[in-house]
Structure 1
């Protein structure tokens, strides 16, 4: 199982992104291997109170990287970050991720597509929890337009997807791409690990 790490960096996001792009190119790694927290819609509360405020204020960037590049990226930030106005703030091993969702659909075909996404193709290590589904059928409304206020069929669903980081991110991407599905921010749970040249420390 590949381990993933959250890497918090003090610095402007565009500068951090350019640094990461150069780092990956120098290693011959594929573009996009390191993910940017702002593009993942991270839930700020899961970062901890202090980092949450800094992240929201825009003075810090949060990266998500798998091993082995994660460790090398942290080393590179320590060695070369200060020269371009960056500083490694924190590293956490991401132990789990989660997000909530809710949907309201007026088409049986769309509803079946969501059911399939929630039951038939869930990535390994990922669970759909607290799933609540309801259906309403109103034959008297048959024939109205899709966006009309009254519909002959209404499907509602809500729940939570949780588990290993890669699978949860993939599920969030799939659901976010579906019509009439709203997804919540991505929540991360992890333990702090030592930065380069630091003693190990366990924390939130």
Structure 2
């Protein structure tokens, strides 16, 4: 399925409400993502220049599937209160992550989250697992732990798959994620 990013001009909260209303009327289960809310960015030099030129207007970046995109664009053109500045197809997405766990049960939970990503590509860049039996004991605020599981990596692929992984990784308190980056088609 193809995904698109729409740059919609108008007051942010109104644009969100309008888009959610169109989704509710047309495709209740359709993915609708507001980039600023989710930590998604795609700003390159050209985007920064556009933002400077249109500094007085508020632009919301909205991501959705092709069928919802067509409905949103039609509804915005009909309503005329907002304006679609740009519609660009998303080629791929990616984000980086890191994690630290000091107990096996948490390490196993992290491993499970990483291993269940079948559609997005997960690349582990760094992974260390260390046992230090001499440090065993009361460890709540200890400078050293008897078990350490640390690592970092990158997730990339189709937007839909990466977004699903992004949400799952973000929901785990022991995993830190960067902002998601979008690669757009020219």
| Same-fold status (TM-score > 0.5) | yes
Match of 2:139 among 141, 145, 149: 145
Given that 2:101 and 2:107 are in contact with CA atoms closer than 8 Å, whether structure 1 keeps it comes out as yes
Structure 1 residue aligned with 2:126: 132
The equivalences for 1:41-190 within 5 A come to: 41-45=39-43, 48-50=47-49, 59-80=58-79, 82-83=80-81, 86-119=82-115, 121-124=116-119, 126-190=120-184
Per the TM alignment, residue 115 of structure 1 is displaced from its structure 2 partner at its CA by: 1.7
What stretches of structure 1 of length at least 5 have no aligned partner?
A: 192-202
Residue 70 of structure 1 deviates from its aligned partner by 0.9
What RMSD over aligned residues (CA atoms) do the two structures have, in Å? Answer: 2.5
Give the direction of change, closer, same or farther, for the CA distance of 1:24–1:43 in structure 2 (3 Å limit): closer
Q: Partners in 1 of 2:43 and 2:146 — Cα distance?
A: 40
Answer yes or no: is the 8 Å Cα contact 2:8–2:83 preserved in 1. yes
Residues 111 and 155 of structure 1 are in contact (CA less than 8 Å); yes or no, is this contact kept in structure 2? yes
**Cα contact 2:127–2:149 (8 A) shared by 1:** yes
Q: Is the 8 A contact 1:102 1:182 kept in 2?
A: yes
Q: CA contact under 8 A between 2:39 and 2:180: conserved in structure 1? A: yes
1:117-163 deviation digits (Å, cap 9, x = unpaired): 222x1132x10124310122222221223443321111111010000
**Which ranges of structure 2 fall in alignment gaps of 5 or more residues?**
none
- Structure 1 residues 32, 41: CA separation in 2 closer, same or farther (over 3 Å shift)? farther
Quickly say closer, same or farther: Cα 1:6–1:107, change in 2 above 3 A.
same
Aligned residues between the structures: 185
Q: Distance in 2 between matches of 1:36 and 1:97?
A: 15
User: Can you list the C-alpha shifts for 1:85-130, whole angstroms capped at 9, x where unaligned?
Assistant: x2111111111000000111101111122122222x1132x10124
TM-score by length of 2: 0.87
* Map of 2:4 onto structure 1: 5
CA distance in 2, matches of 1:55, 1:147: 50
Deviation, 1:53, is 6.2
